[in-house]
Each structure stands twice: as structure tokens, then as C-alpha cells.
Structure 1
Amino acid sequence: MPALQDLSDPNRDALEWFALLRRPDCDTYLHQAFAAWCTDPVNAQAYASLEARLHRLQAVPVQARPRPQVSTVRKSRLGACLGVLFVLGLAALAYLYWPWAERLASQLHTEAGERRMVRLSEGSTLHLDSASAMNLDLRGRVRHLQLVQGQVLLEVNLDGRELDVEVGEARIQVFGTRVLVARHADYDEVQVLNGKAVVQQDGEQRLVSTGERLSFDAQGLHRAERIDVRTADTWRQGHLIAKDLALGQVLERLASYRGQRLWLLDEQTAHRRVSGDFDLDRPADTLQRLAADQRLTFHDVLGRWLLVR
């Protein structure tokens, strides 16, 4: 038989010795055996080569993975300006179209230039002016009406129940048969054509009798004034009969019949007193004649504003 060849591998044995010498249970006997193994020059060279390789691996610095650079996003002035313009545009659209949306959300409403008569189930009649809106609840012991926009003439059926009209923060108790309630840009008002009415707001109360008009706003209730009952509801026939009326009120009514809101550049113009018979069914022509008489200039802004200067 051929002699058995030595199958040991010094490099493999060096790796095993390296692992054994680093075990926690390595004792004196294991170190003596390792020393005996190293007496062979080949084994000693293999172990020295292993240590040299491991030393070189530890000496190579581990390059840290580059951190991603966080880029600072700077908002450009153009983007900021566009954002502001977008917000302002939305606010302008909401301001322009909010009255129209509010009317559509109401139970009863009329469009610009439209007048409408509504007979209620309990016998009363409502005459709605142009661009007006109302909500109502007639089911309880007290009949509740809410004037949201515009103007309404109430012809009340006295059936023994109380009738209340809500106008902004004010409450009007109607004890008559013909009462006119209107909302304007800066104030609200009630005109009693027949009977009586009591206006309450912020703890203040005022009685209004036949032939009287009471206006009220955020500052409170104003003093009652006398009116001409014969001309108070001529708007139902398409006429605004003014007797020493503020020009701003006339322009506001004519603009509302065109579906526009009034914008007066001169406050003194609003307080001019005018008289006359103004045609509400032809507001554009009436405005042109009024502009010539009062030396005014009108500008149509986006079809929603009537700018007067």
C-alpha cells in the first residue's frame, strides 16, 4: 500500500487556531498545543500571513455612506405672489356670487328684475321685490318669516297667531295687515302701511304705527319717520316714486334690478336729495337719464358692480 499523504492544510489550520484562541473557554493547554503547532515553520508562516491579512483589512478605513443633501426649497417671490393673487381671486368671487348663492338656498326667492307674488297656505300674501329671498315656518303658534335679501310687502291674514319677521339681528312683531320690510346695503327698515309693528333689537324696542318708517342697523334703532303710504308700494307696478330721497338709495334700487351692486366713489353723491318717478322695469335707460341729470359717470365692472363717480 502507498504511504498515507499528509492532508493537513497550514492555511486552514491557521484560521481554525485563530478562531480557537479567541474563544472565551481558551485555556493554558490550548495555548501549549498552539505553541507546539507553531514549531513547524510552515505552520508559523501560515499563521503570520493570516494575521497580516487581517491587520490590513482592519487598517482600511470604512468610507461612510454619503448622506443625501437636503436641498432647501426656497419659495420664489413669484410663487408667493401668485398664491396671494389666487386667494384674493377666490375671495372676490365669493363676495360677488355669495348673494346669488344665498338666494338660491332660500325657500322663496326672485331673480334680478323679477317681482313675484306668493300666497301662503294660512291666507297671507307676500309680494317679493327684485333679487329678494325669504325663509318661512308657518307650522307653530307663531308664524316665523325671515327676510334674507331684498324687499317684501306683507299682506297679513290675522288668524289669531302672532307673526314675526326676522331681519338680521332684529325681530319685527307684526300686528297690522300691510307691512313693508326691506334690507339695504348699510341698514334695514320697516314701513307700516296699515296697523302696527314692534321692532326689537339688542334689548331695545320701538313701536311703529301706520304711516311710519323705522330704520335700524348695527348701531341700533333710529327715530321713526313719516312716509307717504300711497307711494310706498309703487314698486309693485315697476315705479320708484322718490320725494326728496337720497340719490344713493335710488341708484342702489336701480342697480339691484340689473343684478349689480353699487360702488360709490364719492360719499357726497350718495347724500344728494332727488325726486321723481324712476322706471324700475327699464333700469339701464333710467340710469342713463339719471347720469345726465346728475352729471355722473357709470362703469360696469364684470357685470356685477356698478361703479359711480
Structure 2
Amino acid sequence: MTVQGNDTAETRGERARAWVVRLASGDMTAAELDELSHWSAADPRNRAAFLHERQCWQDLASLESAFAADPEVGVVPGARSAKWGRGSVLFSAAAAVAIVWLAGPAAYVWLNADAISAPGEIRHVALRDGSQAVLDSDSAISIDYGRGGRKIRLLKGRAWFTVRHGDTRPFRVDTAGGTVRDIGTAFEVDDTEAYSRVGVTEGAVALESNRPLVLHAGQRARFGAGGQAVLLNGLPVDRIGTWRRGELLLRQVSLETAIRAVARYRRAPVFILANLADSKPISASFRTDRPDEALDTLAAMRGLELARLPGGVLLLRRATR
């Protein structure tokens, strides 16, 4: 899909609809996701058009059920293309897009996120109740504020929240592992590994799991779906969420975990072509704006060889002797 400048409102809407259909197809490539990201960031009107068309897509299921009783409305067998005009729904595509889980993970994030950060970007997001969110590199959240509460869903990556009080509605952050409920605080939620994790920098949070747990400033825990929360070693509050200040702090993590943590700050991927299970743990601090320097250091520390390929792709393997 070619990105063009100086779109009119009509062509901008058509382009946004095309992006949504492409995302929901499940066949979106990494290059196309980059193209969508650039198009969305190039003009606030592009982003607004995308959000509008995405909302139309999210409403498709309920709209489809309303039309299902009409025998004259349906999908034409064997149809390969259809025009999606203004004010209409592309029902001929309903079978392809009705279930978002059929799309790839990246498409799911784009179709549901209200705020996204690009690889290498630390993004500050002002929430409409006066609270603040900070998204780490390659992260995304959805935002659902209603009468029953203020609900954030961490769709990907890592985020830090400082919650404004005076609003009686509860503030919750959902992750793949469970729910974190604010009690009066600032806190980090991390969903970059197998378990979700939370660290509190101010006040307290409650983890809503099989065995509820309250954490106070300086405390951390990990939690996963169907399991109880487990306390981790505490940290000084200024050591929690250091990525907000451009510092990646690693403490006794495996070499593979360290490499993947650094790689999140690069646009191009890093491939590990070696078994690193026998490598000693890593404790180090790196700058998030210099991920390649960090990878060079990790390779030198553990006897790895780093090969650079076109497009910024990196390969890590055991050094040959």
C-alpha cells in the first residue's frame, strides 16, 4: 500500500479503511506495519481517520447480527473484491474480520490500541482523568473509561502509571497475567516476559489474583494467569522503571533475557543462533538509546560473535575459534 501525501478527507478515510481490512486479514507483513506506523504518525488526521474506521470495524459484530435476519443481505460466494462506500459496512468481508483473534498479534494490537509506542520510543500519554501513562519501547495500551471504572489494558510491552485521585472510579490495569488495582500510587506494569510483573514507586497497589496481595512503594511481584502473585526482591523506588529515564537496568537475568530486553529498543530484529542456557547471568545497566552498543558489550562479555545483515538485522552466535 503506497503512502501518499496531501490526502483529502475522503481519500484519507478510504486509506484508513483499507488499512483496517488489511490488518484484520491476518496477512499483514512487518514492512506494511512499519508503513502504517509512518502514515499514522505523519498527520494527526491520518491517526484520527484510522481510529474512526477501527471503531467501525469493532462494531461490525453487533451490526452484522442486526442484518443477519434479512435474507437479502449476505456474502456473495466467490466474491474477490467489494467497494466500501461512505456510511456503509463491508459485510462481504465479515467472514474474514469477525474474529480478531484470527489476525496476527501485531494486527490485534493495532486494531485495539488507543496508544502505541514505536521501537526505541518512550511515549508519554495524558489520560483524560488527569492521570499519566508512560509507554516503554514497542508497547501498547487500550483505554476504557466508563461509569464503572477506569480500565487500562496493557496489550503489549511495559508501562508506568501515575494515577490522579479525586475520581471515585477504581483505576485498574489488566495484563495477560491478571489485574493491578490502584490504591493511591504510581507503578510500573511489565508484560514483556512469561509472567506479568508490577513494581510500585509510590503509594500501593492490589493484585487481584487467587491470593490477593497488596504492594507498597519499593515492592515488586510477578503474577500469571491462574496463579497466585509471588513477591520479588524489593528495590529503591528510583530503580523501578528506570527505562523512563533512558536506562535499562538488568539484575541477575539470563543472557538470552538480557539480549531480548535490549533488542526491544531496535527497529530491526535480533536472532540468537546459539544455545545460551549455560551462560552466566547478567547484571548491567545500558542506555536505551544505544541498543547496538549494549549488544556489542553483551557479546564481548559472553564470547559471542555478532554479524550485521542488511536492514539492520543482527545475528548472535558462539564465536568461532
Query: The TM-score by the shorter chain falls in which range?
Result: 0.5 to 0.7
CA distance in 2, matches of 1:307, 1:220: 36
Note the 1:126-275 alignment, pairs <5 A: 126-159=133-166, 160-201=168-209, 203-218=210-225, 220-225=227-232, 226-259=234-267, 260=269, 263=272, 265-268=274-277, 272-275=280-283
Q: Are the aligned partners of 2:177 and 2:195 in contact in 1 as well (CA < 8 Å)?
A: no
In structure 1, stretches of 5+ residues that fail to align are 1-89
Distance in 2 between the 1:264 and 1:246 partners?
16
State the 1:125 CA deviation: 0.4
- 1:159-186 Cα offsets, whole Å, 9 max, x none, are 2321111101411111132110011232
| Structure 2: tracts of 5 or more residues without a match | 1-25, 34-103
Equivalent in the alignment of 1:70:
none
Q: CA deviation at 1:245?
A: 3.8
Indicate the structure with greater strand content. Answer: 1
TM-score, normalising length: structure 1: 0.62
Q: Offset at 1:146?
A: 0.2
Tell me, in whole angstroms, the C-alpha distance in 1 between the residues paired with 2:297 and 2:216: 36
Choose the corresponding residue for 2:130, options 123, 127, 148: 123
Map of 2:106 onto structure 1: 100
Query: In structure 2, how many angstroms separate the alpha carbons of the residues matched to 1:142 and 1:232?
Result: 26
299-308 vs 281-290, which deviates more? Answer: 299-308
Distance 2:136 2:27 in 1: 28
RMSD: 3.0
* TM-score normalized with structure 2 length: 0.59
Tell whether the 8 Å contact from 1:263 to 1:308 is kept in structure 2 after alignment.
yes
Q: Judge conservation of contact 2:177–2:223 (CA < 8 Å) in 1.
A: no
Cα distance in 1 for partners of 2:307, 2:212 equals 41
Q: What is the SS of the residue equivalent to 2:165?
A: coil
Q: Structure 1 residue 303: deviation in Å?
A: 6.3
Contact 2:172 2:181 survives alignment (8 Å): yes
For the Cα contact (< 8 Å) 1:114–1:129, is it kept in 2?
Answer: yes
Which of the numbers 268, 275, 284 marks the counterpart of 2:292? 284
Residue pair 1:255, 1:306 contacting (<8 A) in 2 also? no
TM-superposed CA distance for 1:277, in Å, is: 2.1
Q: Is the 8 A contact 1:197 1:209 kept in 2?
A: yes
